[in-house]
Amino acid sequence: MEQEIKSVVDLQHKYKFELRKTDAKTRIAKLKKLKFALEGAEAEIYHALDKDLRKSNFETAVTELFFTYAEIDHAVKKLSGWMKPKSVGKTISNLFAGNKIYYEPKGVCLIIAPWNYPLQLVMSPLISAIAAGNCAILKPSELSSNTAAVIHKIISNTFDKKEIACFEGDVEVSTALLKLPFDHIFFTGSTAIGKVVMEAAAKNLTSVTLELGGKSPAIVDGSVDLQKAAEKIAWGKLVNAGQTCIAPDYVLIDENLEGAFVEHFKNATEKMFFMDGKISEEVYGKIINKKQFERLNSALQKAINDGAKIEFGGGADADSLTINPTILTSVNTENSIMQEEIFGPILPIVKYKNLQHAIDFINSKDKPLALYIFSDDKKSQEKIIKETSSGGTCVNDVLVHISNPNLPFGGVNSSGIGSSHGIFGFKNFSHERAVVFQSKLGMTKMIYPPYKMGLLKWLKKLL
């Protein structure tokens, strides 16, 4: 396998010079071909995601397929404009020159995707890579093996491997790939593995985009409609059984609202994910595998042993890899459940006395991938936005910022490096090349030796 991988990567390094010559029409045709292939494989995709994560067809359509189709359509519509060289302003040093930014493809790009949204998180960066004129190597997660097999089939049947290739396999495949020189690496996954990817990339001075995660908080104050806030947080936390990188990880709530919020959250959860008093497996997903199931159960038990109280849920079924939606109060904030990303359907609630207390709590931790503000007070909204940092933020909603391709999506520091989607993804897979077209009237000769010291005063005033 290692030799096969090297052979394909070498092939792409040779072919990338041809791809960089492609125009918008050619790239748009490739994007449309990708969409056509995905549409033809929809039945297989639905079946694979059901097998891997017990995703309903509806959830797969909305969070995986429709999301991907919308991103392709956006790129098809906008690509011609994105590719055009952009004229920029002049300075005194090149007053008569033409100044432009050209967008050139980075070359051969490696895309390593996770298992939680195994189709979308392969296809989204691939769309940007194609739009920017790159070759690409895809490495889907082996944990979502059924979806990985479908992706491999789609790519193999649609593209020549000298342009786009897909390799299935475990950590040995990822390790073999990371040993090779790429022009860019796009990784989505945990912060811990992101550090490994970045270290490997540094050996070849390869640029990286890291879409990571972290503990994304939701702040709830007394000015908001608590029932609506709880319903939105419940959906955002429990879609895909909590296995979403931008899911609300914990709730910071005004100390006077905790009891009412718990009741609203419980009611919303039962309405959305239960039937006849039991979890509905038709709409509620499963944990990806036994290892993750045991990790979550262990984290819950440690939190309880450390004083946390289960207000709702707590049940689990090992045979179906199902962990019921669970709310925790009285959580020890030093416990590991408040230190590590949960990535599951367990929601700790932390009370705060005043807004500054909540802000200070967020700032005491690593910068999150997402921050959710539930408040109808404009001053509070602005205060939180100005005094905290996060990859993205939603006010009075959750998750939806990822769905707008006109917004950059990405983390900051420990939650990620770089942005994706729309033009931000196109730029991410492009090198912004500065080009100056000097005029015959250019004045740079004035600063050639021998130096005329009297010229400095005039230049200082001019500049």
pLDDT tens for 237-258 read 999 999 999 999 999 999 999 9
Please report which confidence band the pLDDT of residue 304 belongs to, taking 50, 70 and 90 as the band edges.
very high
> pTM of the full predicted structure?
0.95
pLDDT of 261 reads: 98
pLDDT of 442 reads: 67
Residue pair 229/102 in contact (Cβ under 8 Å)? The answer is: no
pLDDT of 449 reads: 83
Q: What is the residue extent of each domain of the chain?
A: 2-212+411-435, 217-403
Average confidence score pLDDT of the chain: 95
The per-residue b/e assignment along 78-104, b for 16 or more CB within 10 angstroms, e otherwise, is bbeebbeeeeeeeeeebeebebeeebe
Q: Tokens at residue 312, please?
A: 């709702």
The percentage of the chain sitting over the pLDDT mark of 70, rounded to a whole number, equals 99
Task: Say if residue 84's pLDDT is above 90.
Answer: yes
Among all residues, which ones are annotated catalytic?
A: 211, 245
Q: Which residue has the higher pLDDT, 68 or 438?
A: 68
Task: Say if residue 413's pLDDT is above 70.
Answer: yes
Please report which confidence band the pLDDT of residue 462 belongs to, taking 50, 70 and 90 as the band edges.
low
Using alpha carbons, select from 289, 296, 320 the residue that is nearest to residue 142: 289
Residue pair 330/309 in contact (Cβ under 8 Å)? The answer is: yes
Q: Half-sphere exposure of residue 276, counting CA atoms within 13 Å on the CB side?
A: 3
Please report which confidence band the pLDDT of residue 452 belongs to, taking 50, 70 and 90 as the band edges.
confident
Q: Tokens at residue 247, please?
A: 């899911």
Task: Say if residue 182's pLDDT is above 90.
Answer: yes
Q: Half-sphere exposure of residue 37, counting CA atoms within 13 Å on the CB side?
A: 18
Angle at 398 between CA 132 and CA 248, to 5 degrees: 105
Q: Half-sphere exposure of residue 243, counting CA atoms within 13 Å on the CB side?
A: 26
Please state, in angstroms and rounded to a whole number, the distance separating the CA atoms of residues 260 and 279: 23
Find the mean pLDDT for residues 342-346: 98
pLDDT of 463 reads: 64
Task: State the pairing for strand pair 98-105/322-323.
Answer: unpaired
Task: State the pairing for strand pair 86-87/98-105.
Answer: antiparallel
Name the CATH superfamily, with its identifier, for domain 2-212+411-435: Aldehyde Dehydrogenase; Chain A, domain 1 (3.40.605.10)
Domain 217-403 top-level CATH class: alpha beta
DSSP state of 367: P
pLDDT of 203 reads: 95
Please state, in angstroms and rounded to a whole number, the distance separating the CA atoms of residues 409 and 402: 6
In angstroms, the Cα distances linking 50 to 5, 36, 203, 345, 395 are 30, 22, 39, 18, 32
What is the per-residue pLDDT across 260-278, written as a single tens digit (0 to 9) for each? 999 999 999 999 999 998 9
Using alpha carbons, select from 427, 433, 440 the residue that is nearest to residue 99: 433
Number of DSSP helices (H) and strands (E) in the chain, helices first: 16, 20
**One-letter amino acid for residue 394 of the chain:** C
pLDDT of 453 reads: 78
Please report which confidence band the pLDDT of residue 460 belongs to, taking 50, 70 and 90 as the band edges.
confident
3-state secondary structure of 142: coil
Please state, in angstroms and rounded to a whole number, the distance separating the CA atoms of residues 408 and 401: 9
Task: Say if residue 441's pLDDT is above 90.
Answer: no
Task: Say if residue 415's pLDDT is above 70.
Answer: yes
Please state, in angstroms and rounded to a whole number, the distance separating the CA atoms of residues 17 and 19: 5
Residue pair 57/48 in contact (Cβ under 8 Å)? The answer is: no
